[in-house]
């Protein structure tokens, strides 16, 4: 069985995912077979494995950093928040049910065997599995039903590195309090602390780290700096609040506004736009902040009907329609595509209690929700050459589908799917209005296709009568290495290797 090392945090957004990603890359560069693992993730950013299973996008990126093929065992349980109190439970890549937090607690005895079996499977074919916890391991009210933190660590007898976010303040209290609330057998698994997001001279922490060691018996393996120079996807929507992520270039020639829906899904679809020179990407949640963008994007949503209602309550629907009347384009992805149509039908109450909802009416299509979820990786050809697809006709793109609606109508399909989950296909996809300025598609990852993205941006620039700076191709391999190099410089990697049982 392969070795295990677990990364837990004092709370959400403490840096667990990035540290897990960095360790996956570091161990992979050591020549080891590495896999990430997170027993349960709560996220609306999901991905599809080559065999059509849905799991967390964060574990897919970690797998990429590790040089591993993504597989559903890396995240056997995914919770997708749906209406504030309930989540869709995705188990081993397939929807299981919709449950409240209390109902989910009753499900954990059923889910735990999936977690244990998935971890065992990964350990059997890897030299080391880097496991990630969720939230805090000190949620004492959830101890009896949790399946992602200390229960996993105890099952695997895994050494744990506990990460604290100093940027939020109170890091010593957070680390000490977390350890204090653990059971003795859990405390015994904590082998190192890591301080994350520090700004300034780390020697200022020395006296605090020494007292922390005296009180807990645990040393600190490193102090990681606050950094912005590595371009990696955000896992949590908390990251969208960071000005760096939303407005990287205030005076950029092109202005793109993404509507920040309450249940925005797969917002990493827009990372390539955020990184483009000459593009200002903004997340907008009210009409007063809309301004006059060159492109409006309606993103994916876990609750299409509820988020469309929210848009109408805010007046953002009127902003979109007024934008279109000025001759400017709109793109809708997945749930956003469904909103752009004429009607949304839900006869089986799959997503909401509304059997029929009027869409924005910008595309001649209708959507019918179905209980079966489509999850597949896709390769497609661009068959339209007008408007937003001008200059791209005949080229190929790739992406993935995750949706529970079937959309049909008379809208011209700009794409033709040639492959679904590795199998040949021949089917139209998406819709484009006659002018080519309203584009709807189910293809997540559309903007990750460099040639399509650049051609679309050049089209927007030409319509505005401006020039665009040259685009840069983002090399994720280099970004993973930059992250690994940064963490290696600030973490005692000899100690990490000893903790993981990789050296003596």
Cite the active site residues. 334, 444
| Residue corresponding to tokens 């589908």 | 401
| Residue corresponding to tokens 């995914």 | 78
- Burial of 258 (C-beta count, 10 Å sphere; 0-12/13-18/19+): buried
- Burial of 107 (C-beta count, 10 Å sphere; 0-12/13-18/19+): middle
318 vs 7: CA distance, rounded Å: 46
Phi/psi at 160 (5° precision): -120, 135
390 vs 457: CA distance, rounded Å: 11
DSSP strand pairing (415-420 vs 365-382): antiparallel
CA angle 224, 228, 231 (to 5 degrees): 110
**Quick check: helix, strand or coil at residue 451?**
helix
Total residue length of the chain: 504
| Residue corresponding to tokens 């509304």 | 354
8 Å CB contact between 231 and 268: no
17 vs 62: CA distance, rounded Å: 8
Which residues share a beta bridge with 419?
Answer: 379, 424
Whole-Å CA distances, 205 to 11, 166, 172, 336, 482: 20, 11, 10, 47, 25
């Amino acid at each position: 069985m392969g070795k295990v090392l677990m990364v837990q945090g004092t709370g959400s957004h403490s840096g667990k995912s990035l540290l897990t990603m960095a360790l996956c890359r570091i161990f992979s560069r050591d020549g080891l077979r590495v896999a990430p693992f997170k027993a349960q993730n709560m996220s609306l950013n999901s991905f599809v494995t080559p065999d059509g299973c849905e799991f967390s996008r964060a574990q897919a990126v970690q797998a990429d950093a590790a040089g591993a093929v993504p597989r559903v065992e890396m995240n056997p349980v995914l919770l997708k928040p749906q209406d504030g109190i309930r989540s869709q439970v995705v188990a081993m890549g397939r929807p299981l049910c919709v449950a409240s937090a209390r109902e989910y607690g009753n499900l954990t005895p059923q889910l735990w065997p999936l977690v244990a079996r998935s971890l065992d499977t990964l350990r059997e074919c890897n030299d080391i599995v880097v496991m990630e916890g969720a939230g805090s391991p000190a949620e004492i009210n959830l101890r009896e039903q949790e399946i992602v933190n200390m229960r996993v660590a105890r099952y695997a007898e895994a050494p744990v590195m506990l990460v604290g976010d100093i940027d939020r303040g109170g890091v010593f209290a957070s680390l000490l309090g977390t350890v204090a609330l653990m059971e003795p057998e859990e405390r015994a698994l904590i082998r190192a602390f890591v301080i994350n997001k520090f700004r300034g001279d780390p020697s200022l922490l020395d006296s605090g780290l020494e007292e922390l060691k005296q009180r807990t018996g645990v040393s600190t393996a490193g102090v990681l700096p606050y950094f912005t120079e590595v371009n990696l996807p955000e896992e949590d929507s908390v990251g969208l609040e960071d000005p760096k992520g939303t407005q990287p270039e205030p005076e950029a020639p092109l202005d793109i506004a993404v509507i920040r829906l309450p249940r925005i899904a797969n917002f990493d679809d827009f990372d390539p736009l955020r990184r483009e020179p000459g593009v200002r990407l903004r997340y907008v949640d009210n009409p007063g902040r809309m301004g006059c963008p060159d492109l409006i994007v309606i993103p994916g949503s876990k609750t299409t009907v509820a988020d469309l209602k929210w848009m109408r309550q805010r007046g953002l629907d009127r902003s979109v329609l007024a934008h279109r009347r000025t001759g400017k384009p709109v793109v809708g992805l997945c749930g956003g595509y469904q909103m752009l149509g004429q009607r949304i039908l839900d006869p089986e109450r799959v997503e909401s209690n509304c059997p029929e909802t009027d869409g924005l009416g910008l595309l001649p299509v209708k959507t019918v929700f179905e209980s079966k979820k489509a999850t597949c990786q896709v390769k497609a050809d661009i068959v339209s050459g007008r408007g937003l697809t001008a200059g791209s006709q005949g080229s190929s793109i790739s992406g993935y589908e995750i949706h529970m609606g079937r959309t049909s109508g008379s809208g011209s399909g700009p794409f033709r799917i040639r492959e679904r989950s590795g199998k040949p296909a021949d089917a139209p996809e998406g819709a484009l209005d006659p002018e080519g300025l309203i584009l709807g598609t189910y293809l997540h990852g559309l903007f990750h296709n460099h040639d399509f993205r650049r051609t679309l941006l050049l089209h927007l620039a030409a319509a505005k009568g401006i020039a665009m700076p040259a685009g840069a191709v983002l090399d994720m391999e280099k970004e993973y290495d930059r992250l690994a190099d940064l963490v290696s410089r600030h973490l005692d990697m000899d100690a990490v290797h000893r903790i993981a049982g990789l050296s003596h």
